[in-house]
Structure 1
């Protein structure tokens, strides 16, 4: 008997069934009740194993029907050391891009945003919140703060037709970027926006951009960890 936690043993059992082809794509797996009897564990333990596999994109729950094996899903990919227009990225993958503007407004910079943008407290800044979609599936939640002095027409843009990245690149040519990446536990708003399961991983890219010596924008870019990856290529 393995010394690994019981829920991991159940995960390994299900994974072997999938990888061997015994449970092909579309196959309904053994019910939670049957697995509790088979492994002599609690329903909570079985549920934990299945929730993990759902979060990893290997299983899919269908209300009132059961749990089924999913087709492997190729992750979308963005370059970490560069800035590309997400609409172009999606189109280059042969997918359909669309977006939903959640918020687009002016507000006074609080202490956190003033520090991020290098402006005085209560300086007017522009804020946009946008969900980007690939084939109607959300792949990025973008929260962006922009120095109004450098992009005065930002709020007049229709960001369902042009992305903030595209607009700012055209009007404030990029000279420098700052990136940090971290895995986070998504809050309820992020989960709702990206249609994440409760335990699904989330990637956060924190980005600031400069045009010449001007700090133009600061953005938080959230991605579903099971559908997205960031990469870099360094020539030596």
Structure 2
């Protein structure tokens, strides 16, 4: 089974929608960008509706809609009489937990390390479709993660530069992409697929796998606000990795 690179709408419809972006969507992107680049940090107040109305030259109801939708998406928290604040990580983590592999390894009492194979700009059709982008470019990284010097995950990731403009400047041997992105911006929504699939020769080599050995492959996309923030394929040697979880009733 082939892993989908996109679960998006028709690309022509996407291109048409990009021609005229509603004002409230422009304001939403502005707010998300300021959170992503660290200008506005969790718990801090953002400019008031009056200030945003003056800055964008739009009606108050337009600004109000943008902030209301971002609050519903758990990007912002509005307190009557006090203002609008960037949502805290405590609020965000109740919406979705996307675990950091370094934390998982540490919880087992082992040491995490990483080798960066590629950190680059990409403008191919696969990258653009995965992130719902109709023009411009994406960031692309390929990283092998190790648990006590044994390779357990091959990460192949596309990242939206509108959401994480400094992604390509990071040293991902010191901090995982997951930790970097979760630290900067909240995740509101995710979709994923899990497959049993044989890796190609390059992935098999980096994971030190035998020919014919299958991988557990997770494909995942996450959103920040209304933007697809990242799309990633995570390859795990089936003999060295398993998924586990629990559901409370």
Match of 1:117 in 2: 131
Match status 1:146 vs 2:159: yes
Match status 1:232 vs 2:245: yes
- State the distance in 1 between where 2:200 and 2:129 align: 23
- State the distance in 2 between where 1:92 and 1:231 align: 14
Instruction: Give the one of 87, 94, 108 matched to 2:109.
Output: 94
Match of 1:42 in 2: none
In the TM superposition, what whole-angstrom CA distance separates every residue of 1:79-101 from its partner, at most 9, and x where no partner exists?
Answer: xx841111111111011110000
In the TM superposition, what whole-angstrom CA distance separates every residue of 1:157-198 from its partner, at most 9, and x where no partner exists?
Answer: 100000000111011211111110000011101100100000
Match status 1:206 vs 2:219: yes
- State the distance in 1 between where 2:125 and 2:172 align: 27
Please show how residues 57-76 of structure 1 align to structure 2 within 5 Å.
none
CA contact (8 A) 2:216 2:235 kept: yes
- Unpaired runs of 5+ residues, structure 2, are 1-95
Structure with a larger share of its residues in helix: 2
Match of 1:83 in 2: 98
In the TM superposition, what whole-angstrom CA distance separates every residue of 1:9-67 from its partner, at most 9, and x where no partner exists?
Answer: xxxxxxxxxxxxxxxxxxxxxxxxxxxxxxxxxxxxxxxxxxxxxxxxxxxxxxxxxxx
Match of 1:172 in 2: 185
- Aligned partner of residue 229 in structure 1, secondary structure: coil
- Unpaired runs of 5+ residues, structure 1, are 1-80
From the CA coordinates, give the structure whose radius of gyration is larger: 1
- State the distance in 1 between where 2:182 and 2:239 align: 29
- Aligned partner of residue 145 in structure 2, secondary structure: strand
Match status 1:136 vs 2:145: no
Q: CA RMSD in A?
A: 1.3
Instruction: Give the one of 126, 146, 152 matched to 2:139.
Output: 126
- State the distance in 1 between where 2:118 and 2:173 align: 12
In the TM superposition, what whole-angstrom CA distance separates every residue of 1:129-160 from its partner, at most 9, and x where no partner exists?
Answer: 00000000000000000011110000111000
- State the distance in 1 between where 2:224 and 2:244 align: 24
Using the size of structure 2 for normalisation, the TM-score is 0.60
- State the distance in 2 between where 1:193 and 1:177 align: 27
- State the distance in 2 between where 1:82 and 1:230 align: 14
- State the distance in 2 between where 1:208 and 1:115 align: 12
Misfit runs of 4+, over 6 Å: none
- Aligned partner of residue 243 in structure 2, secondary structure: strand
Structure with a larger share of its residues in strand: 1
CA deviation after TM superposition for structure 1 residue 233, in Å = 2.3
